[in-house]
Amino acid sequence: MNKYVPTKNNRRLILLGGSLAILIVSLGIFVIYGFKQENGADRSVGSENGNGIIRSGGIAGKVNDMHLSGSTLFYTNHGDKLFYFDKLSNAGKFVANIEITPGSSFFEEKGYIYYSNGKGIFERSLKDNISKQLLTGKNIWLNTVNNGKLFYYIAFEDSKKGGFNEYEIHIYDLSTGKDIVLFNGCEDMWWHILTVDKNIVIADASMKNDSGLFFIDIATGTRRKLSNLRVHEGCFLNGKYYYTSQEDKGLWGVNLNTGKQEKIPIPGMNKTNFFVDRITGFGNYLYIAAYYNDNNHIISVNLQTHDTTILADGFGRVWKLCTDGKSIYAYDTKSPADMKGEITIMNN
């Protein structure tokens, strides 16, 4: 059953914007700004136009990246400053200056912020604001942090042709200092980590003789193929991996134990320009950004009944989507090339 819920009064907006690709990692660059919808409705701060949504916000400055840790939203500006979003005051609060390159991702785990600047990976305590460099290298970039482990890329330049023709994906254990190579890559072989959950890694791979979605258990070394589809987005939830692909632009789920696949019907999937931009989830619900009819729709999917609800629409390209079970955070731009975007908070 598909259901549409009016969105009046249920969305608060942090006005941000932008997107940029750096080396291997694709990241968002955000700029404070409101913008007009295609139909001319004002979506800027305080506006009640555009689906009747009352919007308010207060993060100032240009923002590179955001990260949701628990129920706290952190973000970095276009320079080297780290902030968190204070829900009570509806404004950003300064945390620290950090040694980060604009466009680089950062992560929070157990009271520490982890980030990179192409020359090293750093750890900073949120308690005493003391920073230390954990790793040093040329063209080194942090991919994610999970369960006390850093997953990071090192790219190697081609001295004759120029550019980057080889890379490695490493795992660095924060407790032991042990560093291992998880994947090797080159022009003919590409691995892209989509999700990490403790010892489980879900990655998209393109190789000479094989490609698709792969499951890797880093504790046992087990590796098996989950799907032949090339996957650009996914979410691990309740023993299943939910994903989408440019080759089949629907919503799929695969049981990691049995390998059984299911395709989940969602609104708009029969439209010619339909695709799923982003997927996140919490508990028994998935939240997806589905693009059709020239705009993105934020849709909840009940995983027990497969009932769907359109929570909000009118978005451009959605670059990040996350939830803590209480609120849903979406960052979108009007078009892929647009440098003026928004982060919207939707109450669940």
Please determine, for residue 88, whether its predicted confidence score (pLDDT) is greater than 50.
Answer: yes
Return d(Cα 80, Cα 267) in angstroms, integer.
41
- In this structure, the dihedral spanned by the alpha carbons of residues 33, 95, 99 and 61, taken in order and rounded to 10 degrees, is 10
> For residue 171, which of 206, 204, 135 has the smallest C-alpha distance?
135
Beta strand spans in 54-117 (E): 63-69, 72-77, 81-86, 91-97, 106-109, 112-116
Return d(Cα 296, Cα 312) in angstroms, integer.
9
User: What is residue 9's predicted lDDT score, i.e. its pLDDT?
Assistant: 36
With tokens 């912020």, the residue in question is: 113
In this prediction the pTM is 0.81
> For residue 169, which of 204, 127, 123, 208 has the smallest C-alpha distance?
204
User: What is residue 133's predicted lDDT score, i.e. its pLDDT?
Assistant: 97
User: What is residue 326's predicted lDDT score, i.e. its pLDDT?
Assistant: 92
Please determine, for residue 141, whether its predicted confidence score (pLDDT) is greater than 70.
Answer: yes
Please determine, for residue 26, whether its predicted confidence score (pLDDT) is greater than 50.
Answer: no
**Structure token digits, residue 264:** 């989940």
Q: Give pairs for 232-235: CB < 8 Å, separation 24+.
A: 232/204, 233/194, 233/276, 233/277, 233/278, 233/279, 234/194, 234/195, 234/202, 234/279, 235/195, 235/279, 235/280, 235/281, 235/286
Please determine, for residue 282, whether its predicted confidence score (pLDDT) is greater than 90.
Answer: yes
The burial of 35, by beta-carbon neighbours within 10 Å (0-12 exposed, 13-18 middle, 19 or more buried), is given as middle
Return d(Cα 16, Cα 332) in angstroms, integer.
9
Mean pLDDT, residues 169-181: 96
Please determine, for residue 92, whether its predicted confidence score (pLDDT) is greater than 70.
Answer: yes
User: What is residue 263's predicted lDDT score, i.e. its pLDDT?
Assistant: 94
Confidence of residue 347 (pLDDT cuts 50, 70, 90): confident
Return d(Cα 308, Cα 192) in angstroms, integer.
30
Q: Greater confidence, 286 or 337?
A: 286
Mean pLDDT, residues 145-151: 97
Q: Give the domain ranges of the chain.
A: 98-347
Please determine, for residue 57, whether its predicted confidence score (pLDDT) is greater than 90.
Answer: no
User: What is residue 159's predicted lDDT score, i.e. its pLDDT?
Assistant: 67
Q: In this structure, are residues 337 and 31 in contact, taking their beta carbons and an 8 Å threshold?
A: no
8-12, 139-143, 333-337: least confident range: 8-12
Digit-coded pLDDT (tens) for 102-113: 768 899 999 999
21-35, 61-75, 193-207: least confident range: 21-35
Confidence of residue 56 (pLDDT cuts 50, 70, 90): very low
Please determine, for residue 38, whether its predicted confidence score (pLDDT) is greater than 60.
Answer: no
Please determine, for residue 153, whether its predicted confidence score (pLDDT) is greater than 80.
Answer: yes
User: What is residue 336's predicted lDDT score, i.e. its pLDDT?
Assistant: 67
User: What is residue 48's predicted lDDT score, i.e. its pLDDT?
Assistant: 33
133-142, 187-196, 254-263: least confident range: 187-196
Return d(Cα 13, Cα 44) in angstroms, integer.
9
User: What is residue 166's predicted lDDT score, i.e. its pLDDT?
Assistant: 85
Matching CATH number, 98-347, of 2.40.30.60, 1.10.287.110, 2.120.10.30, 3.30.160.620:
2.120.10.30
Confidence of residue 86 (pLDDT cuts 50, 70, 90): confident
Give the angle subtended at the CA of 342 by the CAs of 336 and 347, to the nearest 5°.
125
- In this structure, the dihedral spanned by the alpha carbons of residues 87, 89, 92 and 96, taken in order and rounded to 10 degrees, is -100
Confidence of residue 45 (pLDDT cuts 50, 70, 90): very low
**Structure token digits, residue 170:** 């490493």
Confidence of residue 299 (pLDDT cuts 50, 70, 90): very high
Chain centroid to Cα 186, Å, comes to 24
Digit-coded pLDDT (tens) for 320-344: 899 999 999 887 877 666 555 577 8
Dihedral over Cα of 103, 107, 113, 117: its sign: negative
**Structure token digits, residue 232:** 């650009």
